[in-house]
Structures are given as structure tokens and as C-alpha cells.
Structure 1
Amino acid sequence: MIGSLFSLARPLIHRLDAEMAHRLTVAALAAAPALKPAADDPILATEAFGLSFPNPVGLAAGFDKHAEAIDGALGLGFGFVEVGGVTPLPQPGNPRPRVFRLPEDEAVINRYGLNSEGMEAVAARLAARRKRGGIVGVNLGANKDSADRAADYAILARRLAPLADFLTVNVSSPNTPGLRDLQAESALDDLIARALAARDEAGQATGHRTPVLLKIAPDLTLPELDGIVAVARRRAIDGMIVSNTTVARPDSLRGASRGETGGLSGRPLFTSSTRILAETYRRVEAQFPLVGVGGVDSASTAFAKIRAGASLVQFYSAMVFKGPALVSEVKTGLVREARRAGASRIADLVGRDTEAIARGEGL
């Protein structure tokens, strides 16, 4: 039903400015009565960073930036939702236009610049729905004009840890000048230490230890990745999300907006993000789980992320072109893949083809 409705509405939606269409979609999802999705096949149940997920398919950060439509998104059948990025103080982000569809490539370029209603607005919405259930993470970002960006992450962790099921330290957005510099080993070590200390401080009052994840870019060299994983392991982070959007522009792009600046997401990101995922899995050596994101637009691409080393997967851009029915399609396909492989749980197939995928094979 929902797929048919999207097919009818898609031509109208795509005539709108991309950001306006996004805002209307979020508003509609927030206003509509939340659906109760069918129970997931037990084969999809996944344990990661101390949480029990009904299925491994999540909504990536960037869709529900201000935590307005959490219950509507969970009602689509996602196993978890990540809201944000959230900054300590409200900020408007970059000037419009700042979002561009590339329909020929099933891709999106955005340069939002971490537009956020701010920490307190998001905290209020999280608190208001806290007892409704569902796994909800919050993606954390720094204010553009902050004098101490590491302090921003500590402020956010202290305030939002009691309200979230996990937090994501996002130092990989390409649209805030200098933010990706925080992926450098020494800067990252200080930032992670301060964020974890703030998380622990918040947990002392509640008795709850909120997992903290790190989200990285797909444009890293392998030596840069070595340094990041070394910090993550040394600081005992709870997980990593691989990866954010890319600043690269593959020669294969055909869309008229391919020359726009910003982060590229969607189908063209799949291969590079999945290879860096596999390389990360090799370096992590099962010390913590990974979340695979970037170019997931089908059950086969979601399964490739799992084979590369992801315990959980996320998508967002693919829904621009395929609609919300994609959630159930991916889950159904993952059940089929697990049974075809003779696995009793999809989790048993995590990392099955890591080495081949790291070499660029099997994708």
C-alpha cells in the first residue's frame, strides 16, 4: 500500500525543490498516526553495543534532523532511527539551495552545513517520547563558529546521553569547514576522551551507560584509517559508523547537478564506502561492532555491507527514489539471504567476505 502511494506521489514530490520536499516528507511523517509494523522474523534479531535490535536496518542521520518524526519512522519498520546532526546551539546551516537530486544516478548532493534547531529543542522532543520504545540514536555535531569544537561534543554527550539509546560523534560531515580535521589522530583522541568522560558523568546520575559511536568519512587513506581505529580501540569506543557522504565525484555521474559542492550520497557511494567498511572491520578485530551506511538501496547492497563487516546497516538517500517500502523490501531480502546461506541469524554472516570486499571483489 505505502509503496503504491509513493509511486503515485513521486512525480509530484520530485517537482518540488529538494529541501522543500524533504521538509514536507518529515512533517507528514510526524503528523500521521504512527504505524505498528509487523513483527520481524527472529532471524533478523541483532545484538550490538549492548542493545537488542529487532532487525539490523536503520534510518541514517540526516533525514530527521530535529527529532520530529521518530515514531513515524519507526512505524515504517526500521529497527532503529538516528536523528540529527544536532549542535549545541541552533544554527541555520548554509544558504539555500543546498540539496540537489541526481535522478540519473539515484544520488543526492547536500551541503546543509549541520542546520540544527539546537540541543535543547531535540532534548525536549526526545524526553517527550522516551517511554514509547524503539531504539533511537542521536548524531552529534559542532557549531560552525565554536571556539572549541571538542567541547561541543562533550556538552552534547552530557545533555543527551540520558535521553538516547546511543550517541554518534560525527566528525565526518564535509559541509562544516574544518570539521573533518578532527579525524586526525591527536585531535580525535582528545575529542573522544572528552565525549566519553561527559557521557560517563551523565551516567553517574542515571546509572545508564549510553553507547558512543564514531562516524567517519569514506575519503580516508588507509594510514589515516589506521590512526582513527587506533584511537577508537584505545579509548574503548562502543562502535563505528562507516561512512558519511563523500566529496569525491565519480566519473560515472550523469546528473546535471553533479558539479555542486557538498557531500554525495546514494548509489555512487556504495563501492567506496563498502570497501572502507571492510578495511575498518579488518582493523577493529571484533573489538566493537560496525554500522554500514552509504549506497544501500536494496537487499543485496544491505547484505554486502553485512558481508563486509557491518552488524547493522543504515540508509536514507535511497528512499528519495524508492520510497518507504524499501524498508520492508530490504528486510525481506535479508531473511532470504540468511536462509539461503543456511544461517540461523543474519548476524552469523557478518564479515563473511571482508577480505574479498577489501580487495574490491564481490560487490
Structure 2
Amino acid sequence: MAPSSYTRLILQERPKGMINAKTFRRDEAPVSELSAGPGQVVVKMVYISLDPTQRIWMRDEPSYLPPVQIGEVMRAIGVGAVVKVGPNTNLSPGDYVTGFLGLQEYAVVPAQQVHKIDLVPGTELIDFLGPLGVSGGLTAYFGLFEVAKIKKGETIVVSTAAGSVGSLVVQFAKQAGARVVGITGDDDKARYVKNELGADIVYNYKKPSWKDQFDDQVGQADVYFENVGSDITDFMLTRLKTFGRIAVCGVISEYNVEEGQNVGIRNYIQICLRRLRVQGFIVTDYASKFPDAYKEIGSWLESGSLEREYHVVEGLENAGDSLNLLFTGENKGKLILKVAEPGGEKV
């Protein structure tokens, strides 16, 4: 029997620090309300991406996207199947799409807000939240090639190198012929980044000796791919070559810190002394170039030259606790919430 209702997670309270039981409210909505108007589609969710940036969206402060309002469905990027289409759309029932679909089992969205997925050899549906995803592979790709402008033979240091973006930056940089140095937070992840992803050198920043080892083995780097902030960034500002580059993808150490309590950069003067170029970016800045990135990343997947690892959690009810894994470092690879099995897409 088809369900009479579907689940969605509503932002109930803006968290202070880690996400808790009061952050989201579980809401049941009637399936009968799921209708597609002109230019709209109804999408049944299969996978939802859990990303550090969702913690930023929960804040009531200006950002690159408006904050999620109290009482709204929590914003999230997802992959799902079209189950209903309204007039004046270029999609059909059964098409798989990705876009901002929210933490919910079904979404009614403008067809122009989603991107149709075309599976190519070597890819799976889940890959469109990983190496072919906006918050995964596309972020890594444009941060590395458009912002950092990595060149063959250069040395790049990647923080959170076992994470969803960092793990792909490591591999993309190796594809470009760079020397890759990874930084991560435990020995198992360090072995994974070196042995599976192919980094040349990897450091566990929780070991007191890592900075001395860096000086002995690396010395100075051309590029730093910034994902974390904190003491690691302060250190890297003193270990970049003159005219070095920093691509600022994120600063995860500050996402759970209340406004005014963040430490910030202590070695700021090094940007001047070393004439460093520091550039933040949002992947949608490069939306016009997405097709080229899909093509190149897809070719790497088809050839089998990319490793990807997914940390999959099942059930919307586990979204809050699972998001916290990103800030405790307990996830390995891309964190995904599985909502339904692919196939059998009916309302």
C-alpha cells in the first residue's frame, strides 16, 4: 500500500554549537498535496548530501545564500527521481535529477532548479553527490584548477584530505602532475589518503611532531587548499613560497563557533610578506563551466583512475546526528543520507 504521508525535516531552532534534538522538527505532510504545477516537477528523494555548509545555512546571518528560515524545510542537495511533471517542463517521469531538494522524502521544485543526470560508463547514481556532485567533485575541480591554478611539478598541501572535497583534490592534483601533501586527523585516514588516494606524503596533525616532519620532508609549498582553518592555516601561511596561492574552500573549524568567538588568522602579515594570493570561492561561480568538468571527471571515473568512498547513513531521522560527524571527524569520505532505494519511483 502506498504511504499516505511523507517526511520532511523543518528547521525548528538555530543551533548554538553542535546540532541537537531541538534543531529539526519532523513533519508529516500528505502525499495528496504532491502536485506539479506549470514548470514544476515532483521528485522522490534517493540520496541526500550532508555537507558542512549546511551548518552555515542554519545561521541567521548574511552568506552566499539566504539563511534557512525557522519553519522551512532544511536546505540540502539531493539526488532523486522525477515522479510527476507539470506543463512546460523538459523532464519526464523516471528521469533522475540533482539539485537543492531539501531534507525530505519528496520535493516539489521548479524544473529549471534541477539538473538531469545522465549516467555514463563507470558512474553510479550516488556519484552525482560525490565526484560528480556540486559539493564534492565540482568544488574540488574548480577550486584546484580555476582558483589555485595548479601546475605540473608544483607542491600542493590539502587539509582534511580524507574528506569529501579533500579526497578528490588529492586525486585531481595527482592527475595534474603535482606533488601532493595531505593533512588529516588520524592514522587510518592518513594511510587511506596515501595508499588509496595516492598522496605523496600525509600528516596526522594531532601528532606533535608533524610540523617538524613537514619542515624536513616538504619545507615549502606552492599551493594550500584550505578546508579547515585554525592552527593548520596559521602554520601553512608560514610555509608557502613567495607568490604562493591559497584556495579557500571552507573553514570547518569555525562553523560551530558563535559569532565573535572565532579565533581567526594570527599570521595574517605573512600574506603581505610572502605576497600570497588568497581567494575564496563558491562552486556556482563556475556554473557555466560545469559541462566541461562533468566531461573530464566522467572520463577519470570511466577509466577507473578515481577512488571514491561513501559514508552512507540511512533514514531522515538520522540527519542531525550524522551532520555532526562532519565536525567531529568521524566520517570517512563523502557523507550521504540514503532515503530510498533507486527504482520503483511512484508516489
Same fold (TM over 0.5): no
TM-score with structure 2 setting the length: 0.29
User: Which structure carries more strand by proportion?
Assistant: 2
TM-score with structure 1 setting the length: 0.28
User: Which structure carries more helix by proportion?
Assistant: 1
Higher radius of gyration, 1 or 2: 2
